[in-house]
Structure 1
Amino acid sequence: MTTATPRPAPAPNPPLPPAPREPAPRVRTAGADDAAGLAELSRPFVRSGELRERPDALYAARATEFLVAVEPGGRIEGCVGLRVYAAGERGSAGVLYNFCVAGHRQGRGVGGALLRTALALAHTQSLGALFTATTGGGRLFRRYGFAPATARRAPRPWVESLDPRRNALILARTV
C-alpha cells in the first residue's frame, strides 16, 4: 500500500509593490521667456475649440499672469492665467483663463496642482472670488468648489470679452 503525502499549497504570489507615484509637478509663475512655450502648449486646445485663439503677443504681454507646471527639464506641461480685476462693488476678483494641460500629462495631477496654486495665490491677494468660463462641464473646477454663476457677478470687462458664440459656462468660487 502506498500513501500519498499531501503537497503543501503553493505560496500565494507576493503582492505587487505599489506603482511608483509620479512626483508632483513643479508649479511656478511664468516669465517673459515662457511666452513661446505658453503659446505652443495652447495651440492644440485652440484647434480643438477648447480655448479661444490668442495672439502670441498676448502671451508675451501677460506672461507673468500665468502659472506653469514644468517637467524636470523645464518644459511647460500645463498653464493657467490668473487675471486680477480691481475692486468693484463686491471687492477684487480674479479670472482663471487659458487653463490647459499637455495631453500626455492629463489625469496625472498637473491640473489639480495648477488649480491649488491658483487658489492659494488668489487667497494671498485677498481676492473675494474667482471666475472661469469653460465650454466643457468644468469637472475639475467643480471638484475645487466652483459652481455655476451668472455673468452679472463677474468682472464686467471679462464678461464683455467672452464670445457668446462659444456658449461657455461661467463658474465661480469664493476665495
Structure 2
Amino acid sequence: MITATPRPAPQEHARPAPPHAVRTARQEDAPALAELSRPFVRSGALRERPVELYAAHAADFLVAEAADGTLAGCVGLRTHRAAPAEGGGRAGVVYNFCVAGHRQGSGVGAALLRAVLATAHAERLGALFTATTGGGGLFLRYGFAPTTARLAPPSWAASLDPRRNARILTKSL
C-alpha cells in the first residue's frame, strides 16, 4: 500500500480588478461627481460644490469609470495663468481629487493622476499645483513638492481658504 500526503486542492488566486477606464466627464456625470465628492466634503477634505457647478465645469474633470458604469474616482484640472515668478505662462491646478472609499488602494487614484499628468503635458502646461488638507502621499510619489502660494497661479491662490490650512504642492512639467 502506498500512502501519500494529501495536498490542498488548488485554489484560484484572486485576480486583480480590471483597470478603470479614465475619460473626460460629461455634463450628465454632474450628480455622480457630487455624490462621489460628498464624503470628502463632510470630512472637510473638499469644498462643497453644487451639482450645477460640476455640470458647468464637467470638461475640467477626468473620471475613472468602473466596469459597472459607476464612477470610482474623479479629478479636476483647470488651466490658469502662472504666477509672474513662474514666468507668467500657463499652469494647471488639480482639484476635487477623490476616490470612492471602497475603491481606495486599488490604483484608481494613480490612474487618475497619470491621466492628469498626460493631459497637462499635452496642453504644454509649465507646472501643476494642488492644495491638500491630507498628507499628499500620492502627489509626492509622483514628483510633487511643497511650495508657497506666492508661486501658484494668483487667481487660484487668492481663492484658497486659509482656515483650511491646506498644504500647497507643485510639480514642474
Per the normalisation by structure 2, the TM-score is 0.91
1:105 and 2:103 are equivalent in the alignment? yes
Counterpart AA for 2:72? E
Match among 56, 74, 77 for residue 82 of structure 1: 77
Q: Which amino acid aligns with 2:172?
A: T
Tell me the amino acid that sits aligned with residue 140 of structure 2.
R
Aligned-pair distance for 1:15? 7.5
- 2: CA distance, partners of 1:111 / 1:142: 13
* Separation (CA, whole Å) in 2 of partners of 1:153 and 1:16: 55
1:23 to 18, 23, 28: 18
| 2:150 maps to 1:152 | yes
Could you tell me how far apart the structure 1 residues matched to 2:41 and 2:71 are? 17
Q: 1:67 corresponds to which letter in structure 2?
A: L
1:62 partnered with 2:62: no
CA distance in 1, matches of 2:109, 2:153: 24
* Gaps in structure 1 of 5+ consecutive residues: none
- The Cα shift of 1:8 comes to 7.2
The aligned amino acid for 2:159 is S
- The offset of 1:148, in angstroms, is 0.4
| Higher-Rg member (1/2) | 1
Out of 126, 129, 147, the residue aligned to residue 128 of structure 1 is 126
CA–CA distance in structure 2, aligned partners of residues 29 and 164 of structure 1: 31
Structure 2 distance, partners of 1:171, 1:8, is 65
Of 97-106 and 71-80, deviating more is 71-80
SS in 1 for 2:95: strand
Counterpart residue type for residue 47 of structure 1: R
Q: Could you say what secondary structure the match of 1:121 adopts?
A: helix
State the one-letter code of the partner of 1:149: T
Q: Could you say what secondary structure the match of 1:60 adopts?
A: helix
Number of residue pairs the alignment of both structures matches: 170
Aligned identity (percent) is: 62
Q: Any gaps of 5 or more consecutive residues in structure 2?
A: none
**Aligned mates of 1:138, 1:156 — CA distance in 2:** 22
Q: CA deviation at 1:19?
A: 2.4
For residues 169 and 88 of structure 1, the distance between their equivalents in structure 2, rounded to whole angstroms, comes to 18
Q: List 4+ stretches of structure 1 deviating above 3 A.
A: 7-18, 86-89
1:147 shift after superposition: 0.7
Match of 1:42 in 2: 37
Q: 2:161 aligns with which of 136, 160, 163?
A: 163
Superposed displacement of residue 34, structure 1: 0.8
Distance change (3 Å), C-alpha of 1:15 and 1:174: farther
Structure 1-normalised TM-score? 0.90
